Structure 1
Amino acid sequence: MVNFLFYLSLFLIWFMLVYHMFLMQGGYMHFLKYRKKADLWEKRMAYYPKVSIIIPAHNEEVVIEDTIEAMIRLKYPRKRLELIIVNDNSTDNTGAIINKYARAYSFIKAIHTKPPYAGRGKSGALNSGLVAATGEYIVVYDADNQPEEDAVYYLAQALQNDQKAGAVVGKFRVLNANINMLTSFINIETITFQWLAQAGRWFWFKLTTIPGTNFAIRRSILEELGGWDERALSEDTELSIRVYNLGYHIRFFPAAITWEQEPETFKVWWKQRTRWARGNQYVILKFLIQFFQLKNKKVYLDLFYFLFTYMLFLAGVLVSNLLFVLNLFMDLDISAGRISLVLLVLAFLLYMTEIMLALSIEKEQATLKNMLAVILMYFTYSQIWLALVVYSLYLEAKRVLLKQDVVWYKTQRYKQTS
């Protein structure tokens, strides 16, 4: 029995590692090809669809002005652009800052939500913005984002030229990557996620997950779906599956780039990532219940990926670690012996290869400093993530069993220093 559990856990771990290597190859192939598509589409871009940018903002006075200034610099015809900033029941100066810009620029609209329909989370604020939007395409940015000048143009360009795309997802980079070791880890994590999970899944399966920011979606689709699910902590993942179920695909188009802040302290990181994990677990449960009602069979692949990541792979790692520790104190008669050590070393090398390949795609990221950071991440950041997922599973199970309300945690922002 012990040997069966040990071999099963090794299989689960290696299945994920090999699958990620497969995805990373696809991500690299997408990197080599997407720019040609952008050049081709630019020649066809004779019409500029009207775009509504929605920014939900709750107590964002530290960052909102920089974000609005970045939106003002966007290279998109001003008459075809509207910026809707939803001041979601803020108690600081967010509302006053938004009003100042709304008075100065006619394309900026300020929306101020009030209780009881306020302060419930990002989904509620986005739905409020959607009601006021008039654009053909809806673009979403978080309140700490600074998109590059052509980001919205590329998002609209992709939707305009790919009629089968229900949404288009851009790339995001870490604005505060060099603050400390934690932000350095997050920078590496986000680069790897985008080129491995996003670009890789798009290249092989035409699957991509809508992130919380820097994406465009057809307004008609949002209206058909009834907007965002206000019970979902990961409203982006939940929306992705519903878009796929309508028969559309979601394109990953890294020509559209935004820069965003990431947590600078472990406490803020833990709260943010716990919300993300719980949100994805909510999505798994919600759509597993509806499993046989899903129309687009590709959704099954994504559901399985999330199930594997947050449950099966996690179980494999925990079981293998537990058996390893127990074997130090008692003879469990595990037959793998030296083979398990070889597999452990190979798993580490495969992990390093995947991440360094992803970093090599981004300019000045495949450095010795980052390689050393990746090694350190394996033994620290990655192991803490496992504990975080276990904790989030406990919280989500308690919420379901006790029928608790969903509580939204807003990530802390930091004043940018030049």
Structure 2
Amino acid sequence: MTIADVLMVIAVVCIWSLLLVNVVLIIAGYLYYIQSENEVVPEIMGELPFVSIMVPAHNEGMVISQTVEALLAFDYPHDRYEIIVINDNSSDNSGVLLGNIQARYPERNLIVINTDSITGGKGKSNALNIGFAGSRGELLAIYDADNTPERTALRYLVAEITNDSSLGAVIGKFRTRNREASLLTRFINIETLSFQWMAQAGRWKLFKLCTIPGTNFIMRRSIVENIGGWDIRAIAEDTEISFRIYKLGYRIKFQPKAVTWEQEPQTLKVWFKQRTRWATGNIYVIVKNIPLLFDPSAVRVRFDIFYFLSIYFLLLTSLVTSDLLLILHALGYVHTTIAGLSSFLWLLAIILFVVGTFITLTTEKGEMSLSNVWMILLMYVSYCQLWMVVAAYGLYNYMRDLIFKREAKWYKTERY
């Protein structure tokens, strides 16, 4: 067996191991969705808790009014929640728009905190810490500035967390509001349903674990007080705080009936900037939490650390190695006797990808169509391959930030 054969075998084993883990998560997630469809969201027990809803916003004038109007329309008693918008060092008309909404709803608990370049402009985590300092709710809900949550979303989240003291946070589901805008947003819609939410559902079903997605979630105030707020160096503040919640011994539950609709990037440039930011942030969290692999009190965190390590390092390395060896073999520069087997397994992986992804789409009304089968196939050979570039560039950004000690800042996602 040649060196090329050895490398190919290692790469194929790694790729298929992670693929099978994903298949198991998708199956478990599908079962959880079927189960949750037949379950009634519990009623809120006892006195309704006061909730502080925080919305960090930087130059979000294009979408902020619609978001705040949706938050004001929750079917949760209006005197039992406040909305805190952190208008963080914005240079657009966000402040004027928010002031207009305050004038229209003088009786509502709508608070706008305006920061400048001295106090703000240092990223989402810093904005959340500013909002938290001015909040008074025993529960904290977070929404991004481009969200349009359904009326029942907050009530469902509150009901879940108040009925189970072991839960540190409860996350809802977000859907793609502009999924018909472009081919890219159709890919993102499929990705969101299949690889983000179905995997979340599977992890809850199997391990009673989920990762906070950054929006449409609720958590206990006592947790934020205990951990000293959000890590201002963390770009992926959602993943980072999830790990700290696990370490405190709490669980994070997924409630798919609590839904918000959000706007996704419509151009490749905006998408690439957003996803490399996520990758950079997640790599920071992985490196920061690797010591927890050896901490007996952090058992809940280990699966996620291994999972993220596998995705951002092992899978990336294996895919690059496998593709490079196949190309070099085809060009005659190296010889591998298992190139045929590797090609067969690659074809089988595509079939598994298409079938598994399509099955997950059947959980959503209007998504089970023949056109989506072709969309998934096209997604595999185009959109999914870009992930390798995103992960590699995210790693490069992380190393650059580490070397030059760059501070966190707002990475603005363009709105439409």
For normalisation by structure 1, the TM-score amounts to: 0.96
Say if 2:250 is the partner of 1:240.
Answer: no
Which residue of structure 1 aligns with residue 9 of structure 2? 7
Which residue of structure 1 aligns with residue 177 of structure 2? 175
Following superposition, the deviation at residue 165 of structure 1 comes to 0.5
Deviation digits for residues 76-111 of structure 1 (CA, Å, limit 9, x no counterpart): 001111111111011111011112222323311111
Following superposition, the deviation at residue 321 of structure 1 comes to 0.2
How is 1:8-407 mapped onto 2 (pairs within 5 angstroms)?
A: 8-39=10-41, 41-42=42-43, 45-103=45-103, 104-105=105-106, 106-293=108-295, 295-330=297-332, 332-407=334-409
Q: Secondary structure at the match of 1:244?
A: helix
Q: Letter of the aligned partner of 1:88 in structure 2?
A: D
Following superposition, the deviation at residue 115 of structure 1 comes to 2.9
Write the distance in 2 (CA, Å) between the matches of 1:62 and 1:243: 33
Q: Letter of the aligned partner of 1:72 in structure 2?
A: L
Q: Letter of the aligned partner of 2:213 in structure 1?
A: P
| Aligned residues of 2:58 and 2:410 also touching (Cα < 8 A) | no
Say if 2:414 is the partner of 1:412.
Answer: yes
Identity of aligned residues (%): 44
Write the distance in 1 (CA, Å) between the matches of 2:197 and 2:403: 37
| Aligned residues of 2:4 and 2:334 also touching (Cα < 8 A) | yes
Which one is further off, 285-294 or 135-144?
Answer: 285-294
Q: 1:125 to 1:400 in 2, by over 3 A?
A: same
Q: Letter of the aligned partner of 1:66 in structure 2?
A: Q
Deviation digits for residues 34-56 of structure 1 (CA, Å, limit 9, x no counterpart): 245434x12x6453211110001
Q: Secondary structure at the match of 1:296?
A: helix
Following superposition, the deviation at residue 194 of structure 1 comes to 3.4
For normalisation by structure 2, the TM-score amounts to: 0.96
Q: Letter of the aligned partner of 2:24 in structure 1?
A: F
Write the distance in 2 (CA, Å) between the matches of 1:366 and 1:294: 44
Q: 1:237 to 1:258 in 2, by over 3 A?
A: same
Q: Letter of the aligned partner of 1:276 in structure 2?
A: W
Deviation digits for residues 190-246 of structure 1 (CA, Å, limit 9, x no counterpart): 111234321011100111000110000001111111111110110000000000000
Write the distance in 2 (CA, Å) between the matches of 1:2 and 1:212: 42
Following superposition, the deviation at residue 360 of structure 1 comes to 0.8
Q: Letter of the aligned partner of 1:394 in structure 2?
A: Y
Write the distance in 2 (CA, Å) between the matches of 1:405 and 1:50: 34
| Aligned residues of 1:87 and 1:94 also touching (Cα < 8 A) | yes
Q: 1:294 to 1:95 in 2, by over 3 A?
A: farther
Which one is further off, 286-295 or 265-274?
Answer: 286-295
Write the distance in 2 (CA, Å) between the matches of 1:320 and 1:118: 45
Write the distance in 1 (CA, Å) between the matches of 2:327 and 2:195: 30
| Aligned residues of 1:28 and 1:195 also touching (Cα < 8 A) | no
Write the distance in 2 (CA, Å) between the matches of 1:334 and 1:159: 55
Deviation digits for residues 92-135 of structure 1 (CA, Å, limit 9, x no counterpart): 11011112222323311111112312111111111111111111
Q: What is the number of residues matched between the two proteins?
A: 412
Write the distance in 2 (CA, Å) between the matches of 1:195 and 1:63: 24
| Aligned residues of 2:170 and 2:253 also touching (Cα < 8 A) | yes
| Aligned residues of 1:38 and 1:255 also touching (Cα < 8 A) | no
Write the distance in 2 (CA, Å) between the matches of 1:291 and 1:345: 35
Write the distance in 1 (CA, Å) between the matches of 2:87 and 2:5: 57
Write the distance in 2 (CA, Å) between the matches of 1:110 and 1:340: 57
Following superposition, the deviation at residue 364 of structure 1 comes to 1.0
| Aligned residues of 1:195 and 1:358 also touching (Cα < 8 A) | no
Following superposition, the deviation at residue 10 of structure 1 comes to 0.2
| Aligned residues of 1:24 and 1:195 also touching (Cα < 8 A) | no
Q: Letter of the aligned partner of 1:74 in structure 2?
A: F
| Aligned residues of 1:21 and 1:354 also touching (Cα < 8 A) | yes
Q: Secondary structure at the match of 1:38?
A: coil
Deviation digits for residues 229-285 of structure 1 (CA, Å, limit 9, x no counterpart): 110110000000000000000001111000000001111001000100000000011
Write the distance in 2 (CA, Å) between the matches of 1:173 and 1:354: 19
Q: Secondary structure at the match of 2:362?
A: helix
Write the distance in 1 (CA, Å) between the matches of 2:74 and 2:248: 31
Unaligned runs of 5+ in 2: none
CA root-mean-square deviation? 1.4
Q: Letter of the aligned partner of 2:390 in structure 1?
A: L
Write the distance in 1 (CA, Å) between the matches of 2:99 and 2:410: 25
| Aligned residues of 2:292 and 2:302 also touching (Cα < 8 A) | no
Following superposition, the deviation at residue 331 of structure 1 comes to 5.5
Following superposition, the deviation at residue 289 of structure 1 comes to 4.0
Q: 1:37 to 1:246 in 2, by over 3 A?
A: farther
Q: Secondary structure at the match of 1:162?
A: coil
Write the distance in 2 (CA, Å) between the matches of 1:220 and 1:294: 23
Which one is further off, 117-126 or 167-176?
Answer: 117-126
